[in-house]
Amino acid sequence: MADSPETDDDTLGSVHEREALRRIFPRLPESSVTVIGPGDDAAVLAAPDGRYVVTTDMMVHGPDFRWGWSAPYDLGWKAAATNLSDIAAMGAVPTALVVAIAAPATTRVTELEAIADGLREACAELAPGCGVVGGDLSVSATFTIAVTAFGDLEGRAPVLRSGARPGDVVAVSGPLGAAGVGLRLLFEAGVDAQGRPSPERAAELRRDHAEVVLAQLRPHPPISDGPLAARAGATAMLDLSDGLALDARRVAEASGVAIDIDSSALGADPLAALASGEDHSLLAVFAPGTELPGGFRHIGSVVEGTGVLVDGRPYDELGGWDPYVGWDGRSG
């Protein structure tokens, strides 16, 4: 089968796993910490710090993405970006990814190649030196991509959610609310009788509302600002994957404090900034008087109490992203 001419119509069912992997692996990014890469039963990575930060995340067709909106390249980019952001939120430098894909047998190999291109270019732009060191390919009726990411703390202590103290400064690096606005526009574009989104309308939205739609489909989290925050002495940090208010509450609960957010620092649409998920920006807390590093900007403060406040008043309308609730607000 490997000697057969390649065509754009080749599917996983027609070429089988070995040939698909032969075509995909050369497109994947290499890791700067690889000792032994793909080809054996497992990769071997260098661990200069003696410790590794590890995270994993899945994207499942339906609850997490939809082909009518996302191109394969988008999916590869977002799968990398969301995991890189979690590593950065610990103050670590991303070093390696392991990628597993379960796809219908009718999936074209060129679609997997485009996913590999998205993975490669996301790593090159967001986390140079990070690469794919292995993974798995299987068959499933529902397309699923799972990524495990590794990071190097470079001798620093990890930045946890539990270190915020009253008087500390709350800051954000990256956009707030853009991905949620983009998702709402995509969903409002409508679906057909089978519940499938319209790729034609999605293409129009990508053209006419590129900034917010691409913030949803192809996020650009500020990966380098995670280690910068750690070097600046950040006392707490996390990735804003589920929404500012919801994620700020997680820091508040872990630290035994309240987070008071200044609505005037949230831009023209504070509600979208508070309630929208999937921005994958970084929320960090710093000691008073710290010069904020990188792209971080002041949005609030840590105070005595519990939960989230907005302009000093309790804020309970947390909103945010929940994979167990459909994009139309219904469970499932």
Annotated binding site for Mg(2+): 41, 55-57, 86, 136, 239, 242
Residue 270 near residue 243, CB atoms below 8 Å:
no
Beta strands across the sheet bearing 53-60:
53-60, 144-152, 93-103, 131-139
With the C-alpha atoms ordered 318, 322, 324, 328, is the resulting torsion angle positive or negative?
positive
Residue 253 has φ and ψ, to the nearest 5°, of -65, -45
Contacts of residue 184, Cβ cutoff 8 Å, sequence gap at least 6: none
Binding residue ranges for ATP: 135-136, 161, 241
Residue 176 near residue 279, CB atoms below 8 Å:
yes
Binding residue ranges for substrate: 64, 278, 321
Q: How far apart are CA 249 and CA 157, in angstroms?
A: 23
Q: How far apart are CA 188 and CA 201, in angstroms?
A: 10
CA 277 from centre of chain? 11
- Reading the block at residue 240, the tokens are 């804003």
Binding residue ranges: 41, 55-57, 64, 86, 135-136, 161, 239, 241-242, 278, 321
Type of residue at 210: A
Contacts of residue 11, Cβ cutoff 8 Å, sequence gap at least 6: 105, 106, 107, 108, 109
